[in-house]
Structure 1
């Protein structure tokens, strides 16, 4: 018992990583295999190269659950990559359509200033030439042309799946046999109890629905991680494996021990379970895809580009961000603004680049939509040009989302669309309903009036925004 306890709480400095890379059994989950579709081609090739490395290829293995998930989810991964082309194309075409309008408006506004007659130094015509404008537009056009070429090379779901062929070749005779129906039933019963008490792994998948049908067996999706975990324990017990490494693209807390936003290694419950049920195991360790590539490069002298490691890190970060957004109530403010703006066709809404670059925010989407509706309603009712510009600025302890437009101030009593008639400027322009809504979210609302320029500011605390997680292990 003491030996299990000490191994479970062993510090990373006490782990023999040289032995891990020389003798350890490396087990991969389906996320890593699906990363072969998601990574850029050079990085995907680097990962394939490591899996085929002469120092490692005889010490790799995947569970039956892994190959089932890989084969069932590969088309989704392929489609997702294909769909990205359309997403980028829409953004570029939108930028192209707005490009001429922006410069046309700029030229008109500068013309109103009559700078040639009134200023001896400022000369807009020197820069706003048709040649300069065309050169800028050409960048977008060239990007669109290159995108079309790249899309023609991208595999589609109907094409021969070369990555599938490679995976099946690499893991020939290195795939688990899976469990019988009776064994699966026992795992599911155990899983229900484990998930009720948040015992890892897999409890973060408890909301998943459906199953995979293989022969006479039903592999329930929400228990996928637990099935793999039980396969791993059975494998190392039968083969008397002393050193085990799980390489996983799964970044959820039901696998990883996290402290202060850092991944420190496997959950202690996992270590205790595998050391107890498989006493032959002296070391169980985990890598994510990026860390695996990084250390394969240094310890196996594998041919892995630094860019491949960075791209794998980016993929992990995006995966985690997507999960947080989906599961923990985070919203992309730019997307929310665009969604609400679609309900106000008579109002032009310019969303600045600073807004698109914001991380997801932990704000109630329904509350934010009501807030935006109120802001746009007031802008349309009281604005002069039927236009609102939205920008984001970083302050010491908050991020300011600023909505700015021009207003005609005939009185201060009728500018609030809520219908009340309080005469204070803050009440009239400050949109009392917005104040009320945002106070529940811990967001300060401020209004600024300078001549005909009116701005409403949402001061959102920085802690509301998603922060990238870091790793702090070998």
Structure 2
């Protein structure tokens, strides 16, 4: 039997069949999300991870810990920056100060005695002034509390309460550091890039994901569920809403070839929701909402960490302008490239269709230099055309 044909019929189990006994592997981005979650969300996820660790079902790749250690100080810095930029800097005494400087009504209109409802007017002015005084006092106390919080955050680099919570889990669950043949690892990464084989072929020269994958492959005789935030485009298939559909088939086949077992992938919210149901209760609404939200801070951090790859100017990096648009355009480009790759392999596009698509992409690339909003619209149109072609072909 042809090898590729044979791979179509490997014995991959359904998620429900492996969920209760599979090894759970978490990605770096899951651990780092603790610095964005509310307390109730962190405690929910922590309790699950702790329970899995005690059952020896949680495994954390050594590479994940290395990446977590490198990125943790940056996340703490971001917490401090957010307190400054989103709260403290806006608590300038501006509006309150201006309001408290207003002239007394009797000084503006000395002849108030000749107007109706003067007593009520003066009483309301008194109440207003008392409220402003109370607000000024409350604002001062709030600013003092925020400054105390910033002092606490400064200590988090060396005395991090989230890291302290993680310590027990790390001690139980972190995999031993593997010994790599550096040249063999580089050769494997280059092969994957050349052949568009996940993971790592979209990592622009880095091999972090490949190292994580190697550690996952080392979990012999176990079905594995890998939990990662929905941003690994060379690991998963996604739907039009960017939700994970499944792990890339290449990964499923490689894992099965090495271990004769099943490999699955879930987003954090999907995993917590399913785990909660196995315990006989639904995921709390506020926890689900907290995990599902895609915060501007995350988009900004993601883009700034890849500033050069996203073509950001020093001014944009400093100001944060256009970061969301660039991030969205980056996602559209990746999606388009995925469609084009399949279209090329399967010979789906006719020559004139391919030429038309490439001309429209060229226009989008030109627009990206001048107007990101128009560029996003153009990329969206190209993606829509590709999706229409695929829907006709596979309908």
Same fold (TM over 0.5): yes
Show CA shifts across 1:211-270 (max 9, x none).
xxxxxxxxxxx10111110111122xxx311x2100123613122212424222222332
How far apart, in 1, do the equivalents of 2:139 and 2:94 lie? 10
CA contact (8 A) 2:35 2:75 kept: yes
**1:23 aligns to 2:30 (yes or no):** no
CA contact (8 A) 1:25 1:61 kept: yes
Change (3 A) 1:147 1:196: farther
The equivalent position to 1:260 in structure 2, one of 230, 235, 240, is: 240
CA contact (8 A) 1:36 1:163 kept: yes
The alpha-carbon deviation at position 58 of structure 1 amounts to 2.0
Matching residue of 1:169? 168
Matching residue of 2:159? 160
Matching residue of 1:249? 229
Change (3 A) 1:461 1:201: closer
When you count helix as a share of all residues, which structure comes out higher?
Answer: 2
How far apart, in 1, do the equivalents of 2:323 and 2:66 lie? 34
Matching residue of 1:384? none
How far apart, in 2, do the equivalents of 1:87 and 1:465 lie? 32
Matching residue of 1:407? none
**1:278 aligns to 2:258 (yes or no):** yes
Q: Secondary structure at the match of 1:167?
A: helix
Change (3 A) 1:43 1:193: same
How far apart, in 2, do the equivalents of 1:193 and 1:271 lie? 18
The equivalent position to 2:94 in structure 1, one of 91, 97, 104, is: 97
Change (3 A) 1:195 1:102: farther
The alpha-carbon deviation at position 197 of structure 1 amounts to 4.7
Change (3 A) 1:294 1:153: farther
CA contact (8 A) 1:330 1:360 kept: no
**1:232 aligns to 2:213 (yes or no):** no
Change (3 A) 1:240 1:152: same
When you count strand as a share of all residues, which structure comes out higher?
Answer: 1
CA contact (8 A) 1:257 1:266 kept: yes
Matching residue of 2:207? 223
**1:185 aligns to 2:169 (yes or no):** no
Q: How many residues end up aligned between the 2 structures?
A: 325
Alignment of 1:458-473 (within 5 A): 463=377
Change (3 A) 1:231 1:438: closer
The alpha-carbon deviation at position 196 of structure 1 amounts to 4.3
CA contact (8 A) 1:99 1:137 kept: yes
CA contact (8 A) 2:28 2:64 kept: yes
Show CA shifts across 1:273-324 (max 9, x none).
223x32511x321122222222222223479643233222236775346435
How far apart, in 1, do the equivalents of 2:48 and 2:80 lie? 26
The equivalent position to 1:441 in structure 2, one of 341, 349, 371, is: 371
Alignment of 1:121-132 (within 5 A): 129-131=128-130
Matching residue of 1:294? 273
Matching residue of 1:204? 202
Change (3 A) 1:362 1:28: closer
How far apart, in 1, do the equivalents of 2:77 and 2:15 lie? 38
Give the unaligned 5+ runs of structure 2. Answer: 109-120, 328-366, 381-395
Q: Give the structure, 1 or 2, with the largest relative contact order (CA under 8 Å, sep 6 or more).
A: 2
The equivalent position to 1:50 in structure 2, one of 48, 51, 68, is: 48
Change (3 A) 1:154 1:309: farther
How far apart, in 1, do the equivalents of 2:379 and 2:99 lie? 31
The equivalent position to 1:311 in structure 2, one of 285, 290, 307, is: 290
Show CA shifts across 1:116-144 (max 9, x none).
xxxxxxxx997895456556656754643
CA contact (8 A) 1:43 1:311 kept: yes
CA contact (8 A) 1:51 1:57 kept: no
CA contact (8 A) 2:80 2:150 kept: yes
The alpha-carbon deviation at position 185 of structure 1 amounts to 2.3
How far apart, in 2, do the equivalents of 1:230 and 1:41 lie? 33
The equivalent position to 1:5 in structure 2, one of 1, 4, 8, is: 8
Give the unaligned 5+ runs of structure 1. Answer: 112-123, 208-221, 341-355, 364-436, 444-459, 467-474
How far apart, in 1, do the equivalents of 2:378 and 2:79 lie? 30
Show CA shifts across 1:25-81 (max 9, x none).
101122222233443333222221111226973211112212222233333333332
Matching residue of 2:73? 75
How far apart, in 2, do the equivalents of 1:91 and 1:224 lie? 37
How far apart, in 2, do the equivalents of 1:288 and 1:317 lie? 19
How far apart, in 1, do the equivalents of 2:40 and 2:66 lie? 26
How far apart, in 1, do the equivalents of 2:273 and 2:137 lie? 39
Change (3 A) 1:34 1:301: farther
Q: Secondary structure at the match of 1:240?
A: coil
